[in-house]
Structure 1
Amino acid sequence: MTKCVERTALQAVSVAGMVICLLVALWGWQSGILTSQERLAAFVASCGGAGALLFVVFQAVQVVIPILPGGLGCLAGVLLFGPWWGFVYNYVGICAGSLMAFGISRNCGKPLLPLLFSQKTIDKYSRWTEQENRFARLFALAIFFPVAPDDFLCYLAGTTNMTWRRYTAIILLGKPASIALYSLGLTVVWQHVTALFA
């Protein structure tokens, strides 16, 4: 019963986070911040260093408590801070969140997984852990290529015998490519979408 309540509470937090993000996006669209590069730049400049710090914290938290698909956060980083600094802030936030997820899972173990993720996802990827060396290779590939649920895999890795050193190396070396691919791909899509409504 307690697990059911905890899972429901976490799902409610995720839904609330999604609703808040949608409302903020709607406000940004109507105010012109998300449709004008000049207004967006002015808005970010008005926040100063606090804006960058809040964005990094948001990116870290959304890995630990999945609220939005990670790709949308990457897009936001590029739109808010430009391609270079957007990439840097995305990288720092996502890596920090990935390390936190591993640490939380390392302390809480497998009972935590059903509270955050669907049983279908757990069943699909838990088979990777049957052979330790196989999991490390598959995990590294999944982190490098943006094709698998990274947030879940970070939690799953925490339930294995993978060392902190190996995990950290995979995250720090593998994340740049996937973040760059997400950022570039979604930026191109965003430009096409905004051009349709311009």
Structure 2
Amino acid sequence: MLKSTRSLSNRQWIQIISLAGLCLTLIGLYYMKTHSHFFTVGGAFQSFITNLGIFGPLVFILLQIIQVVYPIIPGGMTCVVGHAVFGPLYGFIYNFIGIFSGSLLNFYLARKYGESFAKTFVSEQTYNKYTAKLDKGQGFQYFLIAAFILPGFPDDFLCMVAGLSNMSFKKFCWITLLSKPATLYLYTLITYQSLLFLNHSFL
């Protein structure tokens, strides 16, 4: 009973922090709207990162790892920021390194700490919905590939579900390496161009 209460408390804290993160994100989006050049290539944020020298990309990659494991900031936003600040090539590289590292960490933590860890981050309904896929045996790995490629799935949580399965760490690495890069670049580019279009349309 004590373990269940602690798990519920952890979930509540994460929901509160995530809500605070969402509020900060909305404030950030408003700031981006009123200071349209802040996150563009050559803007103030890039200057800040550049002034950090070699630590600039490391700070950004660490931010990506944190948002994968502890989803305070929407991942789509950080990917777009990386694209805008570092450019298409290096932005993609830093985005992928951070997301890939965070995905592996999610897998490892779920494997080490079990369902109590995974349940902390989602509702009981969401947990039951996706862990039910584990009963499909080999079918789960094909579902995981499709979920990583297609939009609309909770990729970060599915990394935890994979950690609860019998899938080997090596196989999970290969699935992530083969299914995430192309879609990460495509969705980031589409989102970035859409934001530019909306920004120009309402100026």
Partner of 2:19: 15
Closer/same/farther in 2, CA of residues 84 and 183 from structure 1, 3 Å limit: same
Partner of 1:84: 89
| Aligned: 1:181 with 2:183 | no
Tell me the TM-score normalized by structure 1: 0.89
Task: Indicate conservation of the 8 Å contact 2:148/2:179, yes or no.
Answer: yes
Task: Indicate conservation of the 8 Å contact 1:6/1:115, yes or no.
Answer: yes
Residue of 173, 176, 181 corresponding to 1:171? 176
Task: Indicate conservation of the 8 Å contact 1:109/1:159, yes or no.
Answer: yes
Partner of 1:97: 102
Partner of 1:69: 74
Percent identity over the alignment is 32
Task: Indicate conservation of the 8 Å contact 1:77/1:86, yes or no.
Answer: yes
Closer/same/farther in 2, CA of residues 81 and 36 from structure 1, 3 Å limit: closer
User: Once structures 1 and 2 are overlaid, which stretch shifts more, 149-158 or 13-22?
Assistant: 13-22
| Aligned: 1:52 with 2:91 | no
Larger helix share, 1 or 2 = 1
- The C-alpha deviation readout for 1:33-52, integer Å capped at 9, x for no partner, is 43754424444433332221
- The C-alpha deviation readout for 1:119-164, integer Å capped at 9, x for no partner, is 2322322221112200011101211233311011001111000000
Partner of 1:156: 161
User: How far off is 1:113 after superposition?
Assistant: 2.3
Aligned alpha-carbon RMSD (Å): 2.0
Distance 2:63 2:108 in 1: 18
User: Once structures 1 and 2 are overlaid, which stretch shifts more, 152-161 or 118-127?
Assistant: 118-127
Distance 1:12 1:27 in 2: 23
Task: Indicate conservation of the 8 Å contact 1:101/1:155, yes or no.
Answer: yes
Task: Indicate conservation of the 8 Å contact 1:56/1:92, yes or no.
Answer: yes
Long gaps (5+) in structure 2: none
Partner of 1:128: 133
Closer/same/farther in 2, CA of residues 13 and 121 from structure 1, 3 Å limit: same
Task: Indicate conservation of the 8 Å contact 1:33/1:43, yes or no.
Answer: no
Task: Indicate conservation of the 8 Å contact 1:44/1:81, yes or no.
Answer: no
Aligned residue type for 2:19: V
